[in-house]
């Protein structure tokens, strides 16, 4: 009886394991570091007002990691991005 109960608990627990390789919520992109760690950045969406409550760094489909500072958008090499909304 103990073996059946143990197998049942094991099978039920496997149902709750998340096999998704992307741990980020919808609207976020996973960024992986060279050391194997990763974090989620909010996606920059063209035409939408960006939410700066969680910071000024976003992920852009074309430019990658971008940041907003002093009224300008910058890429990861600190170059100002003009016409970002086009």
Confidence at residue 47, expressed as pLDDT on a 0 to 100 scale:
78
Provide the phi-psi class of 18: left if phi over 0, else alpha when psi is between -120 and 50, else beta: beta
Question: Which residue is it, tokens 């998340």?
Answer: 18
Distance CA 1, CA 78 (A): 64
The pLDDT tens digits along the chain (86 residues) read 788 778 777 767 666 665 556 678 888 999 988 998 888 999 988 877 777 776 789 999 899 999 998 889 999 999 999 887 65
Confidence at residue 36, expressed as pLDDT on a 0 to 100 scale:
86
Q: 50-54: list long-range contacts, CB under 8 Å, 24+ apart.
A: none
Confidence at residue 18, expressed as pLDDT on a 0 to 100 scale:
56
Indicate if the alpha-carbon torsion angle 77, 64, 25, 68 is positive or negative.
positive
Distance CA 31, CA 22 (A): 10
């Amino acid at each position: 009886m103990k073996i059946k109960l143990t197998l049942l608990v094991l099978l039920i627990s496997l149902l709750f394991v998340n096999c998704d390789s992307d741990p980020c919520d919808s609207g976020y992109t996973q960024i992986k570091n060279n050391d194997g760690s990763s974090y989620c950045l909010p996606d920059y969406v063209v035409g939408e007002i960006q939410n700066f409550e969680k910071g000024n760094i976003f992920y852009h489909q074309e430019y990658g990691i971008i940041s907003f500072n002093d009224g300008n958008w910058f890429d990861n090499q600190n170059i100002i991005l003009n016409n970002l909304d086009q």
